[in-house]
Homo-oligomer: A and B are copies of this chain.
Amino acid sequence: MALVKMIEDGHASVEVQAVFDEIKTARKSDWVNNFWKVLASSPATMQRIWSNVKLVMAPGALDALTKEMVYVAVSVTNNCEYCIHSHTAAARAKGMSEEMYAELLAVVGLANETNRLANGYQIDVDEQFKPKFD
């Protein structure tokens, strides 16, 4: 159970309800997930994080699905149970197939392995990998 009291959709202050409404509109959804109901306990945090999410997760040079899969990759590496669930669900909703999901987790697993081989052997970065700026 969350360590603060959740604010329920429909029982919020005007400023918090405005974010709830914006979230539902943006997602074409009729419910608000626990992440936002918990963050609503601190309206300043809620508004700041929602503003960041809108800026960062909007499709740009990377499409929305790729961004969700990167979110899953980070959340799996950090072992954030909530985030693994929410962003896997979001990636599936945006079109991630079971084959894509299996490949995503395979890359995440392998990267975590080779990260430790590179660290463990203390491998020097090749000069060829360093970008040249003039």
A contact set with B: CB distance below 8 Å: 1-5, 31, 33-35, 38-39, 41-42, 44-45, 48-49, 52-53, 55-57, 60-62, 66-67, 69-89, 97-126, 128-131, 133
Q: Which of B57, B81, B114 is A122 in contact with, Cβ under 8 Å?
A: B81
Q: Which of B45, B80, B98, B122 is A2 in contact with, Cβ under 8 Å?
A: B122
Q: Which residues of B contact A108 (CB under 8 A)?
A: 70, 74, 116, 120
Q: Which residues of B contact A52 (CB under 8 A)?
A: 48, 52, 110, 113
The answer to whether A84 and B33 touch across the interface, beta carbons within 8 angstroms, is: no
- Nearest CB on B from A83, distance (A): 5
- Interface CB pairs A-B, < 8 A, 30: A1-B131, A3-B84, A3-B88, A3-B121, A3-B122, A3-B131, A5-B133, A34-B124, A39-B121, A48-B56, A48-B106, A49-B114, A53-B110, A56-B107, A61-B99, A62-B107, A72-B120, A73-B74, A76-B119, A82-B124, A82-B125, A83-B118, A84-B119, A85-B125, A85-B130, A87-B111, A89-B129, A105-B121, A112-B116, A113-B113
